[in-house]
Structure 1
Amino acid sequence: MFRNPIVPGFAPDPSVVLFDGVFYLATSSFYLFPGVVIYASIDLEDWTHIGNVINRSSQLSLRNATTTAMPLDDGNVMVASGGLVAPTIRYNNGTFYIVCTNCYHEVDNWQIDNFFIHTKDIWSNTWSDPVYFPFYGVDPSLLFDDDGRVYAQGSWMIDRMKQPSCTIKQFEIVTAQTVTEIDITSSKPISGIQGPHIYKKDGWYYLLVAEGGTFEHHMLSIARAKNVWGPYESCPHNPIMIADGTDEYVQNMGHGEIFQDDDKTWHVLLASTREDVSIAKNRIPKNKKIGAIHPHVGNLYLHHPPTLDPYKTPSVIELVPKSSSLSDPHGTALLTRRQRSLDTTATATLVLNDALPGISAGLTVYKDPLRHASIGISILTRVVSMHFVHKSKEYDVTASQPHCIPTGVTKVHLRITASPDGYAFAFRYDGDGDDEEWSKVGEVDGAMMTARDFTGADLGVFALRKDGGEQEVSQGAVFQDFEFRDANEEETVGDVSE
């Protein structure tokens, strides 16, 4: 029996392919760099983060992959993020392919670029530059047919005021030129079709789609046809997977794939959420760490990597501060890692350098520019405070009783403790009390960090310029021993050596 979720935390829109006894899994990364995460497993249980598809700034720009709060008719707010969404991974004739959408905001409109990217050696973390093809939509997928023809499927955006339908294109995989295309939606969608994939088995073409939107009505449906162009006949038992209207622990199930293992057993892989994390803590899996391939493969930056390598040694990070804040839509000086467990502790030691009086630095839990909470220290005033922002709910609060670090203290230890209920922020310094106990600065309710959104939480270190200067400084904020500790594991996870 599998331990679900197989990849916990921020891992949306999964796609999988089996090659030579190894399963390779790709997930969305949105506005974070590096983009499109690749995991590998030999048993569908233990997964290793082996690389990232977009790992060079020259491949594409994520600068305009912004986040927007969109009021809904039911009174809720949807937080929509741009960037790299819904990748599909496939293998054909010695080459791995990723097909993906880059959504970004330009002037007053959202723009959509679809592309595929390829590599001969998926373990090398060396991928080609994107090859773009004409398709105004999202969630593209690839089908390599038996006769050598290649087809792209996706959710076609008829216009901004209509729900997407499903279309298929035949195109040349070398030139990315479209040969022909047709709308293949088998029936009117409930609330838009997402994540369409076509599979061929025993002479039939099977079209798997997600319907009902991304949230509580999310579901998987399937249809089939003898011709790849259709018409597709819906399965009479649709939806084949849905949690809507149930009290199941896992909810919002959709955007998935069906696939076979080497024993020809069928599996379904899909995105989902946990409805009420407080009722089943004992069901949260212990995520066995089996090692990583590339140093710092799990490190994340906003939109693009820093100009200079932040690692001075394997345990020392130096972030050159920026005048932009954590709320800036185009990013700031921030290095994070995905939160994988509901019970996680992130710690880092900040070195207080009096030569950098205009800097504020610290530790943050970061969802996006609209939602983040941090514990930080102003180098000039030596004041420790907690800052919480939720722009869509108009919260922008700093802890009312900030703490001051005594003169002479050169290092401050910072901590964020995550639990199913929320996040607690604390600090300590050497010589602070008999047992050097942690002093709590504040807490944030976990519900305040959530919304109808597409991304997960990250934890990491940041550095900001408070003097408003734009000229790059020669020194940055120095952090030592930035690491995670998962309450479900005996070892440190998410540390700088991963």
Structure 2
Amino acid sequence: MTLFDAAQNADLQTLQHAVEYEGQNFRERDADGNTILHYAVQSGDLAKTAYLTDFLALDPLDANLSGVTPLDLALQNGAADIAAYLAERSDIDPAHSFHNPVRRGFYPDPSWIRVGEDYYMVNSSFSFFPCIPISKSRDLVHWTTVGYAITNPAWARVARSEGGRGYWAPDISYDPASKRYYITATYRGNEGDPERRCQMVVSADRPEGPYGEPAWIHEDGIDPSIFHDDDGRHYMLFNRSVRMAELTPDCRAMKAPARLIWGGDVKNKTEGPQLMKHGGYYYLFAAEGGTGSGHRISAARSKNVWGPYENCPYNPILRQDDAGGYLQNCGHGKLVQAADGRWFLCFLCLRRGPDGTAPMGRETSIAEVTWTPDGWPVAAYGRRPRAVLNLPLPEAIPTAAPAGLTDWKGGEWVTQRALDAANFAVENGVLTLRGNGLDLCEMQMQGLLLVRQQERAFTAETELDIPSAGTAGLTCYYDEHSYLKFGVGPDGLLLQEYAGYEVISAQTAPLPAGTSRVRLRVTAENGNRAFAVQDGNTWRTLWTIPEPRYLTSEGLKCGKRFTGAMVGLYVHGTAAVRFTDWAAAWPRPEGKR
């Protein structure tokens, strides 16, 4: 009998015997990431649940690959006694807790600052436009996009950017002397460009912007950040281990060449450096080990800004060391001190499913930080990422998003590269989107609006007028090398899949009789995607396909795949198409509390 069988189906005595005499792996997980404790909770037996929690020290907050913890499972099953016990043992208030990630979907490489009681975060946008989203929160958990670092297409330089290029690893900072906010990021060119990597800097007098025209610092490297010292000097840090250069007072140029200040702790792919001053020390943080399973955050400190830096004896200060854990590839973080004096860390992570793919790409999670008696910051709870935490601050209503296209029908809309303003308009709640005759695989294509996919399971719908030529409708999109289109044209309905450099499947169906407008729906659940059209008052499913692996970073080797899956609207052709509605739902398996 396996431990899973004993935990779910046997009595307590049999489970105890299996644990204490059969010497099995108590950290074992099933194919869906469930632990032995999940099985005990599923049995509804409080005594078995308590035995595994108390004497094997299994974690009630250890999530499976869907993000469901044993505590979540007890709540979902209505097992009030088990839920109360697990909540007490894990020091969690289910009514005032949250699940990581806090920025779900393609929000990689986070950096944040506190402004009074408000918090602002930036994330990478790669070749998507507007560039570098700026989000705001009052509680570190609920975030709303309130601006972008670059909103002028003429400044963006992404019109030629291949998927996976563009703006990498931004940082947001504040200079109290000039009372200005700065955002810097690496601009990553295409492989054949004369300069493949340089650093971009913009500034504003408000954290949400608007930001001015970018300055370009022609120094190779990635993942820049800006540190404003209390003596009025400014420094930029970037990788190749950790290098640093002093900047001019306006932070738009380097005063002297960059030089190495720290080789890192594990000395392997050290990047994403951040510098802060606290308690008389300069603390240096960096991501190490590459962006795969070895990803981590390491720390060092020095009394001198130029070093030498002493490695933290507790490194890594955050790392996922459980290959079956819910949050994987955790690293690239930055500390912030809350208004109440506590410290928190934002970091990137992946939610990888049983098939090994992570459709949402790299996302943003947070961790509470504690300071050791000898003055080192480490992530709480064993320096590991935690799936569930108590709300760090009183829950706040999310900030309202700016009016306009970015919030049409509740969507946070972006496009691949830049969308010509002449090709879209919103009037009286109706979006008109025009293509330029090019398809989604072509770099200069116009007529594409996207939102980030937030969960594996989702539903997206749109209602549109049937175009007079070409097709328009819904798209599930990763980049110009991988997408599908579920659209409609004068000749009928179309489902087309594109992967690599070619169409890999195409299916057609006739239109419902007597229609000039259609409502389309794509549903992802249980490992499949279904495509349906509304026919009168009912939905008619036309096609069902297996979940497309080509819509993930792991599922296709083609170009640089560092982003995440998107869902949205497209127009292929030159018609101006009216979209009268859009709706998307992202149900969370663990439930919202």
Same fold (TM over 0.5): yes
Is the 1:165–1:189 Cα contact (8 Å) retained in structure 2?
no
| Partner of residue 291, structure 1 | 400
| Partner of residue 301, structure 2 | 224
Identity, in percent, stands at 28
Residue 347 of structure 2 aligns to which amino acid in structure 1? Answer: L
Is the 1:25–1:40 Cα contact (8 Å) retained in structure 2?
yes
Output the TM-score relative to the length of structure 2: 0.70
Which of 209, 224, 247 is the matching residue for 1:140?
Answer: 224
Is the 2:161–2:190 Cα contact (8 Å) retained in structure 1?
yes
Measure, in 2, the Cα distance between the counterparts of 1:230 and 1:408: 74
Measure, in 2, the Cα distance between the counterparts of 1:111 and 1:221: 27
Residue 405 of structure 1 aligns to which amino acid in structure 2? Answer: L
Structure 1 residue matching 2:538: 3-state secondary structure: coil
| Partner of residue 481, structure 2 | 370
Structure 2 residue matching 1:335: 3-state secondary structure: strand
Structure in which a larger fraction of residues adopt helix: 2
| Partner of residue 276, structure 1 | 353
Measure, in 2, the Cα distance between the counterparts of 1:277 and 1:91: 42
| Partner of residue 483, structure 1 | 583
Seen in structure 2, the aligned counterparts of structure 1 residues 323 and 127 have a Cα distance that, compared at 3 Å, is: same
Seen in structure 2, the aligned counterparts of structure 1 residues 173 and 404 have a Cα distance that, compared at 3 Å, is: farther
Output the TM-score relative to the length of structure 1: 0.83
Structure 1 residue 235 displacement after superposition: 1.4
| Partner of residue 182, structure 2 | 97
Is structure 2 residue 261 aligned with structure 1 residue 176? no
Structure 1 residue 315 displacement after superposition: 2.9
Structure 1 residue matching 2:404: 3-state secondary structure: coil
Residue 390 of structure 1 aligns to which amino acid in structure 2? Answer: A
Q: Which has the larger radius of gyration?
A: 2
RMSD between aligned alpha carbons? 2.6
Which of 115, 137, 140 is the matching residue for 1:41?
Answer: 137
Give the 5 Å matches for 1:244-283.
Answer: 244-276=321-353
Is structure 2 residue 518 aligned with structure 1 residue 412? yes
| Partner of residue 158, structure 1 | none
Is the 2:423–2:447 Cα contact (8 Å) retained in structure 1?
no
Is structure 2 residue 120 aligned with structure 1 residue 24? yes
Structure 1 residue 203 displacement after superposition: 1.5
Measure, in 2, the Cα distance between the counterparts of 1:199 and 1:108: 34
Which of 104, 115, 129 is the matching residue for 2:200?
Answer: 115
Which of 448, 455, 473 is the matching residue for 1:341?
Answer: 455
Structure 1 residue 107 displacement after superposition: 3.9
Which of 49, 55, 64 is the matching residue for 2:151?
Answer: 55
Which of 276, 300, 306 is the matching residue for 2:414?
Answer: 300
Residue 292 of structure 1 aligns to which amino acid in structure 2? Answer: A
Alignment gaps of 5+ in structure 2: 1-96, 357-386, 390-394, 407-411, 555-560
Structure 1 residue 423 displacement after superposition: 3.1
Is the 1:96–1:120 Cα contact (8 Å) retained in structure 2?
yes
Residue 177 of structure 1 aligns to which amino acid in structure 2? Answer: A
Measure, in 2, the Cα distance between the counterparts of 1:479 and 1:210: 43
Is the 2:456–2:524 Cα contact (8 Å) retained in structure 1?
yes
Residue 100 of structure 1 aligns to which amino acid in structure 2? Answer: A
The superposition leaves residues 207-246 of structure 1 with CA deviations (integer Å, 9 ceiling, x where unpaired) of 1000111121111111111111111121122222111444
Alignment gaps of 5+ in structure 1: 68-80, 156-163, 466-472, 490-498
Structure 1 residue matching 2:238: 3-state secondary structure: strand
Is structure 2 residue 564 aligned with structure 1 residue 450? no
Which of 460, 463, 467 is the matching residue for 2:568?
Answer: 460
| Partner of residue 424, structure 2 | 310
Structure 1 residue matching 2:226: 3-state secondary structure: strand
Residue 576 of structure 2 aligns to which amino acid in structure 1? Answer: G
Residue 583 of structure 2 aligns to which amino acid in structure 1? Answer: E
Structure 2 residue matching 1:58: 3-state secondary structure: helix
| Partner of residue 88, structure 2 | none
Structure in which a larger fraction of residues adopt strand: 1
Structure 1 residue 407 displacement after superposition: 5.4
Is the 2:119–2:137 Cα contact (8 Å) retained in structure 1?
yes
Residue 340 of structure 1 aligns to which amino acid in structure 2? Answer: Q
The superposition leaves residues 62-103 of structure 1 with CA deviations (integer Å, 9 ceiling, x where unpaired) of 012103xxxxxxxxxxxxx10111000011222111011111
